[in-house]
Amino acid sequence: MVAEKPSPKRIDPAFKNLVLKEEGGDHLLRCYACGTCSGGCPVAELEATFRPHEIIRMSIFGFKDELLSSNVIWLCSFCYNCYERCPRDVKPAMVIRALRNIAARQGYVPNGIKMIAESVYKIGRVTEITDFENEARADLGLPAVEPVDIEKMKKVLKKAGLEKVLPKEE
């Protein structure tokens, strides 16, 4: 994942403190770099740039900008293999979630995630549910999908730190 030697400017030694304070990041410093998390990660098997143990190392060493601006932290599928297998209870998946929260608050969100957040912000869902979908559900004996409380969804998105990437209120 780290192809070139990092310039000292890109290192922020205090970054680990930010991660440690974030929910889910509090076990960060327990990591002893055994690589078990990456060895059992299904995303790492498919995507060469994704290695959870590297993400943990980079967090500890202070690769703040590189991590927060990277799409890599958004690739985790939260299968929790690493969470179960880590011998040091670092909870790598939770550290990655903490990094995403920090990144979102600083405005670093990939376009795909941004589009999903915008859709949830506007209509309360990732995709619109119309009469067509509800009729199809009725044919299968399923109840119609309940309307969403959009204002509540907006509050959730803002609380999740996505405010910077959401459309401005008119």
List interacting residues with ligand SF4 (CB under 6 A).
31-37, 41-43, 52-53, 56, 76-82, 86-88, 90, 92-93, 96
Q: Which of 144, 3, 20 is nearest to 91 (CA)?
A: 20
Asked whether the beta carbons of 99 and 55 are under 8 A apart, the reply is yes
Q: Which is nearer to ligand SF4, 107 or 112 (CB)?
A: 112
Residue 91 Cβ, how far from ligand SF4 at the closest point, in Å?
A: 8
Joined together, the tokens standing for residue 75 give 């690739």
Which of these, 5, 15, 41, lies nearest to 103 by C-alpha position?
15
- CB closer to ligand SF4 out of 46 and 115: 46
Based on CB atoms, which residue is closest to ligand SF4, 42 or 107?
A: 42
CB atoms within 10 A of CB 99: 30
Q: Residue 22 CB, nearest distance to ligand SF4 (Å)?
A: 16
